[in-house]
Chains A and B, each alone.
Chain A
Amino acid sequence: MELVLVILIDGLVYGLLLFMLSSGLTLIFSMMGVLNFAHASFYMLGAYFAYQISRYMGFWPGLILAPIIVGVAGAAIERFGLRKVHQYGHVPELIFTFGLALLIEEIVQFFWGKNQVPYDAPEVLQFALFSIGTNEIQAYKVFMIAISVLIFLCLLYVLTKTRVGMIIQAALSYPRTVEALGHNVPFIFMGVFGVGTALAGLAGVIAGPQLGTFPGMAFLLGSIVFVTIVIGGLGSLWGALVASLLIGWMTTFAASYNVAMADILMAVGFEMPEEMSEHALRDIWTLTLPQIGPILPYLLMVVILVFRPYGLFGKRDA
């Protein structure tokens, strides 16, 4: 029972982290219709920038500065790169962001090398805040939760309660009408892209000390972020939140319990084959839950796409 509580907290941390990545991506995707393959690369840039800043000024300036730098870089890339490619259609845009992802990875390796860098949580947060049973919960994890929740509340407020948010919402559905009303839609696009990448950067800043800061970190999270926004529904902030938490808890729980497939099969009434090494279905018999944990989100995505192509909270067709 104690373990369940611990896993709930761990899953929450991971889920909220996914949310910070997917919230930016889902806005960008629904607004421009472009799958930003480089989104997770901005997450990596955030971690590396924060690491670099933390070496000179400590963790806290990095927490503020790194996302801003990433956001400005993101906006510049939209303004001078993506916007130029936009007129040629979606495929060149896709290729552009894909190339950007590769480029960023190479740049990171060029400046910081291929090894993991020692980017650590600030010392004031390096202690166990409380423990449940024998498992300790680090203060930094609670800090991650706090930051993520704060970001979510800010986003929710801006998007639903302010004028800027209303224009963005309108531009999501009816860009031409919004333009006809005198709003600068390309500027809104640039702003959304910038804020989206800044959020990814912030996710990198706070995830770097926890999940490791190395050149493969973007690739590791890249695909799962797309899964999250498809499950949540494109353009939906609530969808992104619910899907992120769902995936966070699902993968954490799956990795935590060594439920063997053999037990399930036997419980359903199948008989364990005597000679396992020669059995045709031995791969299925020897599976455990932690092994299939990583594919569960993809499975969920397929199920969602079959039964609810709009995603959990989406309003438009994926």
Chain B
Amino acid sequence: MIKKTKLGMATALAVSLGASVAFADTVKIAFVDPLSGPFSPTGTNGYAEFQYAAEKLVNEQGGVLGGDMFEIVGFDNKMSPKESLIQVQVAIDQGIRYIAQGNSSGIAHAITDAVNKHNRRNPDDRVLFLNYAAVDPALTNDACNFWHFRFDANADIKMDALTDVMAKDENLKKVYVIGQDYSFGKSVAAAAVSNLEAKRPDVEIVGNELHPIGKVKDFTPYARKIVSSGADAVITGNWGADMVGLGKAIIDAGFDGPIYTYYAASNGITRTFGEQGTGHIYLVSEGAVNPPASDRTAAYVEGFEAKYPDHDITQPRIANTIEMLAKAINEAGTATDVVKVAQALEGMEHDSIWGGKLYMRPDDHQIIQNVDIQEHTSEGIQFFMDASDWGMKLVSEVEMAGMDSPTTCKMKRP
């Protein structure tokens, strides 16, 4: 009798243990971005940020749905749209329901199309696309769909915020716009020109040109043109070596105004500009950490720097992405029915860890957030970049930038 009870208890224990293991699922998020090749520094940095955000903001807080943990699974897309689609398919085949991607709008277009088709054909295992950095405005306009959510301000919103700040500068008379010769460079230039014309018709665009992407050996001639044009400010969407080459050449040529950029920070860029960039390099981005918005922000960044000394928080929106996804899953009460999760994400309001509010606009799934103009400097910096003596400091903030920006999105809802 006693033996039987023991056996029964053991069985019950085993069953309950098994059950609790079955309940404590993991919610997997596929991180599809370059993890090898020339673009891998950006990719691996984003990967580290995702892993840290999942660990710190979700798993250490007890997970979602009362115990489910987040897991970030890396998929190397080698910066190619074709390879990305293969990796997305592999991820879906593994039962992953959340795809995160950000580097290159071209790839984002390919993925959003593929996800849309997949979800139409396979209503039983639909997936969501969390776009954390691809900023082509079209993704939340003509090319939008219900499964795509963008957690970064798009290029038009950023330019809107940047020109808001520039327009306040009374001394601004002449602006030079220069960028890489491809879709993103062109859209930055177009947005800069139209915004400046609307806000400051008296400002003259003294130059608007594109240079071959990744092919310019010496940026000096471009810099000479900029200085000779008498420009007071430069706007560029350049990234990588093109950003450093252009920036250094412009400063060397004797330009003493601001250079407004989208991507002139971290990944070696801050360190390379060093003292030379002080007072010249400005960045339009979200989530400035100097000064940190709260103790929680500071602790988060400190923890990251301790865990990943070789990386920086370059994309604060990744923390927003993870937090909002976790919140949506909890509200929906499920991690597998992504329609419910998407519905919870739509219209969600959230207090960002970086300070300020986040609002996922339901019309087009474009997040609305504060956009910051930051300055490359060595003074007043608590969190440095590239393990150097420089970092980005908040200069001015546009609250809920692009809240009323128009959209042409007409999405079909399931």
Of B215, B221, B230, B253, the contact of A220 (CB 8 Å cutoff): B215
Q: Mark A206-240, 1 if CB is under 8 A from B, else 0.
A: 00001110111000110010000000000000000
- Residues on B with C-beta less than 8 A from A10 are 218, 220-221, 224
Which residues of chain B have C-beta atoms less than 8 A from A255's C-beta? 211, 216, 221-222
When each residue 216-235 of chain B gets 1 if its CB lies under 8 Å from chain A and 0 otherwise, what string results? 11101110110110100000
Does the CB pair B241–A118 fall under 8 Å? Answer: no
Do A212 and B209 contact each other (CB < 8 Å), given the known contacts A14-B218, A135-B224? no
B217–A214 CB distance below 8 A: no
Of B167-175, B244-252, B341-349, B366-374, the one touching chain A: B244-252
Give A3's nearest chain B residue, CB to CB: B228
CA distance A220 to B213 in the complex (A): 12
Partner of B241, one of A2, A138, A216, A294: A216
Q: Which residue of A lies closest to B242 (CB)?
A: A212
Asked whether any CB of chain A lies closer than 8 Å to the CB of B298, the reply is no
Docked Cα-Cα span, A135 to B274, in Å, equals 22
CB-CB contacts below 8 Å: B357-414 with A:
386, 388
Q: Is B248 a contact of A212 with CB atoms below 8 Å?
A: yes
Contact (Cβ within 8 A) A290 B274: no
Known contacts A7-B221, A211-B218, A216-B38; A118 and B388 CB within 8 A of each other: yes
Quick check: B40 and A114 within 8 Å, CB to CB?
Answer: yes
CB distance from B385 to the nearest CB of A (A): 11
Chain B residues near A258: list those with CB within 8 A: 207, 209, 225
- Which of B254, B271, B274 lies in contact with A136, CB distance below 8 A? B254
Q: In the bound complex, do residue B272 and residue A134 qualify as a contact, i.e. CB atoms below 8 Å apart?
A: no
Q: Please indicate the chain A residues that have their CB under 8 angstroms from the CB of B225 in the complex.
A: 256, 258
Interface contacts (Cβ under 8 Å), in number, total 103
Is B212 located at the chain interface by the 8 A CB criterion?
yes
Contact (Cβ within 8 A) A294 B220: no
Q: Report if B269 contacts A (CB, 8 A).
A: yes
Chain A minimum-CB-distance residue to B223? A135
Kindly provide the distance from the CB of A216 to the nearest chain B CB, expressed in whole angstroms: 6
Residues of A within 8 A of B210 (CB): 291
**A211 touching B217, Cβ below 8 Å:** yes
Whole-angstrom distance between the alpha carbons of A118 and B207 in the complex? Answer: 30
> By the criterion CB–CB under 8 Å, are A3 and B268 in contact?
no
Once the chains bind, are A290 and B38 in contact (CB under 8 Å)? Answer: no
Once the chains bind, are A133 and B228 in contact (CB under 8 Å)?
A: yes
A294 to B268, CA, bound (A): 27
Q: Is A150 an interface residue (CB 8 A)?
A: no
- For A99-139 the 0/1 string (1 means CB < 8 A from B) is 00000000000000111111010000000100101111010
Contacts of B220 in A (CB 8 A): 10, 13-14, 252
A118 touches B245 (CB 8 A): no
CB-defined contacts of B214 to chain A, threshold 8 Å:
216
Shortest B204–chain A CB gap in Å is 16
Complex Cα spacing A294 to B213, Å? 12
Contact of B271 among A13, A118, A214, A290 (CB under 8 A): A118
A135 touches B181 (CB 8 A): no
B253 touches which of A13, A136, A288 (Cβ 8 Å) = A136
Interface flag for B81 (CB, 8 Å): no
Chain A residues whose C-beta falls within 8 Å of the C-beta of B104 in the assembled complex: none
Contact of B228 among A135, A138, A221 (CB under 8 A): A135
A256–B254 contact, CB under 8 A? no
Question: A114 to B218, Cβ gap below 8 A?
Answer: no
> Whole-angstrom distance from the CB of A244 to the nearest CB of chain B?
13
CA distance A43 to B218 in the complex (A): 16
Identify the closest chain B residue to A120 (Cβ).
B274
Q: Is B355 an interface residue (CB 8 A)?
A: no
Q: In the bound complex, what is the Cα–Cα distance between A3 and B209 (angstroms)?
A: 18
**Which residues of A have CB within 8 Å of B271?**
117-118
Query: Which of B211, B222, B248, B254 is in CB contact (< 8 Å) with A131?
Result: B254
Interface 1/0 per residue, A63-76 and B, CB below 8 Å: 00000000000000
Specify the chain A residue showing the minimal Cβ separation from B212.
A294
The 3 A-B pairs of least Cβ separation, nearest first, read: A115-B268, A136-B254, A255-B221
With A3-B224, A7-B224 already in contact, 8 other A-B pairs whose C-beta atoms are closer than 8 Å: A135-B224, A135-B253, A210-B218, A214-B244, A220-B217, A251-B217, A255-B221, A290-B221
Q: What are some 13 contacts across the A-B interface (CB < 8 A)?
A: A13-B220, A116-B241, A116-B244, A117-B271, A118-B268, A134-B227, A136-B252, A211-B217, A212-B244, A212-B245, A216-B214, A255-B222, A256-B225
A interface residues with partner B (beta carbon < 8 Å): 2-3, 6-7, 10, 13-14, 113-118, 120, 128, 131, 133-136, 138, 210-212, 214-216, 220-221, 224, 251-253, 255-256, 258, 288, 290-291, 294
- Identify the B interface with A (CB < 8 A): 38, 40-41, 181, 207, 209-212, 214-218, 220-222, 224-225, 227-228, 230, 241, 244-245, 248, 252-254, 267-269, 271-272, 274, 386, 388
